[in-house]
Structure 1
Amino acid sequence: MRKIILSVLMAAASSLSIIAADYPKAQIKAVYTYKYLTRHTDGHDIENTDNMMLLASPVASRFFSVNTEQYDSLMARPDGKEKYQLMSREAMKDAIVHENGEMRIDMSRVKKPLDGVAFQVTRKPDADVLDVYDSMAKEDYVYQVPMSDLLWEVGDSVKTILGYECQQAVSDYHGRRWTAWFAPDVPVSSGPWQLMGLPGLIMEAESDGGEYSFTITGLEAADCPITPRPGERDLFKTTRKKFLAEKRDRHLNPEKYMPGVTLVNRDDAMKAALSHDLIETDYKDK
C-alpha cells in the first residue's frame, strides 16, 4: 500500500460550506470532443470519444470529462451509490438479446453509465504550473506540469471553426507533435487538456498520425466559478513521468499487477497494447 503523502478534501460544488466567491470566475465555457485510438485484439482500431468541458478565464482554467463530472456529482450525494446501481441495471437491459426463444447478454452492448476519462487539468489563478489529476487501479493521483514545457510555433495557415477565424500553431510536446488552431478573437490563452499558451482559445488540436485529437463543438460566454472536482478523495502525489511509466507498464504487463491471473490470448493483447501509446510518450526518456 502506498503511503499517502497528500490528502485533500475536495468538496462538491453544491456544498453549502463552499462560497462561490472563493473560486475564480470562468469567462468562457467550451465543449470539446476528445478522440483517441485503441487497438482491438482482432487487429482493428477503435475510435473512442468523450465529451469534455473547459471552464476558463484569462488566468485560470479547468478541463474535465462531462460524464466523469456527472458521475462524481452523483456519487457525492448520500443516495448516489443507490441511484448509480439503478442506472447500471437499466443499462444492462439494453444488452439482453432474445434469439430463437433464448435469452443471452451481448457484452458489446453493455455500456457503463456516465463512463468518462479520468484525467482532469487545472490551472490555478496566474500559476505557472498545471495540476493534473488522474487515476490508476482505482486510486487517485495528482502531479504538476510546468507550463514552460509547451512552446508553440505560429504559422500562416488559417481556417474557420465555429465561425471564428483560427490560426495554425505547432508544438513538440512531451513526445508528440501537435497541430493546433486557435482563435485570436477569443482572448483566453487556454485550450483542451494541457494545450494552452497561445494568444487566443485553442479550438482544435491533433497529434501527428491522428491518434489523439480535441475538437471544439460548442462555445459560450460564462459567469460561473471554476470549482474543483466534486466529492472527497485521497490523492497520491507523484510525478508525471513516474505516473505515466507505471500506467503504461500496467497495459503491457497486467499479470505483474494481478498475481495468479492468466491473460487469455496474451500475444494478441500485447500487440494491441503496443499499437497505440499514451498521449504523452516521453515517460521513456531518462
Structure 2
Amino acid sequence: MKKVIILFSLIMAVMANAQNQRFIYEYKFITDSTARDKQETETMYLEVASKGSKFYSKDYFQSDSTMQTMVAKDTQSLNINLGNFKFKGKIRYNIEKMYPDYSTNFFTTLGSDEYQVQENRKQNWKILPEKEKIGEFNAQKAVCDFAGRKWTAWFTTDLPIQDGPYKFYGLPGLIVKVEDNTHSHSFELKGSKKLSSGYEWKSTKDKERYNPLVTINEAKFKKALTDYRLDPMKSQKQMLAEGTIVEMRDSSGKVLDPVKASRDQETKAKANIKRQNNILELDLIK
C-alpha cells in the first residue's frame, strides 16, 4: 500500500508541474500533393492548465493580438489597408480540449465567419511495444486512424498528461511526436516553458468579436467548408450587394475599386484553395 501511495504522489507532483506549461511543437506540413518538395514549417504551442489545453500557432497568435490592438483604437470605421498589415503564420485555427473529459472544440474562420466546431470523433489508439528516444524523452509507439489518415504517435509516460498536439489525446502520456503515413503532416515536441504565475486560461469563444461565433457540429462544418471552397468570396459579395462599404487600399494607400478588388481576391483565393488539396483532415474534402 505504501508503494502505491508513493507512486500516486509522484504522479500528482509531475502533473502539478506540467500544468500552466507551454509545450512547443514543430509542425511540418505539405498541403499541396502536387508539390511535395514544398514542405512548410510552423511553431505551434500547446498550453496546458488545470481547466484544459489550447493549441495554436505562435506567429498567428502574435499577429492576431496586434490586429486586435489596432482595431480597438478605431472602432468607428473599417478601413482595410492591404499594404499596412500582414498576418504572419499559415495556421489560422486553434483547438481547445477541456479536462477531464477532453471535450474538443476547433476554432477557425471561413471568409468573414468564425466557427466553433464541436469535435465528437475519438482516436482509437493501438499501443505497440516499440520504444524509441524522441528528443530527451523515452517514448512508446501507438497508431490510429483519424480524420482520413493513418497516424503513428510516440508518447512518453515521463509526462503523464493524456494530451498532445492538434486534436490528438488519449494515450497514457504526452504525445511528443505524431506523423501520418504519407509524411505530409507531423508534429514534434521541441521544448517547453513554464507559464507565468499570473497565467489565466481563457477560451477563444469568450473573446470580443464583431460577428457572432457560429457553433456547429462536424457534419455542418464539412458542408460550410465545401461551400466556401466553391465560392470563397460569397460573404463579401453579400456585403457589397447589401450596400456595405468596405474601403480597401493597396500598399501605396491608394483606394481600390471594391468590385475589382473583390474579383482579384476571388481569383487568388480559388488558386490557393486548389493548392489546399492535402489538408490535415482529408475526410473534410473527400
TM-score (norm 2): 0.68
Question: What's the secondary structure of 2:144's corresponding residue?
Answer: strand
Q: Which of 100, 109, 134 is 1:126 aligned to?
A: 100
Confirm or deny that 1:237 pairs with 2:215. yes
* Structure 1 residues 51-66: aligned runs within 5 Å: 51-57=43-49, 60-66=52-58
Measure, in 2, the Cα distance between the counterparts of 1:225 and 1:196. 22
Question: What's the secondary structure of 2:279's corresponding residue?
Answer: coil
Measure, in 2, the Cα distance between the counterparts of 1:231 and 1:81. 17
The match for 1:161 is: 134
Measure, in 2, the Cα distance between the counterparts of 1:232 and 1:218. 31
Distance 1:150 1:87, change over 3 A: same
Give the deviation of 1:207 after TM superposition. Answer: 1.1
Measure, in 2, the Cα distance between the counterparts of 1:118 and 1:264. 21
Confirm or deny that 1:50 pairs with 2:42. yes
| Cα displacement string for residues 145-184 of structure 1 (whole angstroms, at most 9, x for unaligned residues) | 13x6111001112221221111111011122111111111
The match for 2:163 is: 190
The match for 1:136 is: 110
Q: Which of 27, 30, 41 is 2:23 aligned to?
A: 30
User: Does the CA-based 8 Å contact 1:184-1:199 persist in structure 2?
Assistant: yes
| Cα displacement string for residues 262-284 of structure 1 (whole angstroms, at most 9, x for unaligned residues) | 9879xx959x8378333223346
Measure, in 1, the Cα distance between the counterparts of 2:167 and 2:31. 21
Two-structure CA RMSD over aligned residues (Å): 3.6
User: Does the CA-based 8 Å contact 1:170-1:179 persist in structure 2?
Assistant: yes
Measure, in 2, the Cα distance between the counterparts of 1:44 and 1:284. 18
Amino acid at match of 1:140: E
Measure, in 2, the Cα distance between the counterparts of 1:81 and 1:70. 17
**Contiguous gaps of at least 5 residues in structure 1:** 1-24, 92-111
Measure, in 2, the Cα distance between the counterparts of 1:80 and 1:44. 40
**Contiguous gaps of at least 5 residues in structure 2:** 1-17, 75-79, 238-258
The answer to which structure has the higher strand fraction is 1
| Cα displacement string for residues 207-240 of structure 1 (whole angstroms, at most 9, x for unaligned residues) | 1201211111112344533233484122111122
Measure, in 2, the Cα distance between the counterparts of 1:87 and 1:284. 30
Give the deviation of 1:88 after TM superposition. Answer: 5.6
Question: What's the secondary structure of 1:193's corresponding residue?
Answer: coil
User: Does the CA-based 8 Å contact 2:177-2:188 persist in structure 1?
Assistant: yes
TM-score (norm 1): 0.68
Measure, in 2, the Cα distance between the counterparts of 1:199 and 1:114. 34
User: Does the CA-based 8 Å contact 2:64-2:87 persist in structure 1?
Assistant: no
Q: Which of 61, 65, 80 is 1:69 aligned to?
A: 61
* Structure 1 residues 195-274: aligned runs within 5 Å: 195-222=168-195, 224-229=199-204, 231-233=207-209, 234-251=212-229, 253-254=230-231, 257=234, 261=263, 273=274
User: Does the CA-based 8 Å contact 1:51-1:66 persist in structure 2?
Assistant: yes
Measure, in 1, the Cα distance between the counterparts of 2:82 and 2:271. 31
Measure, in 2, the Cα distance between the counterparts of 1:86 and 1:136. 20
Sequence identity, in percent?
23
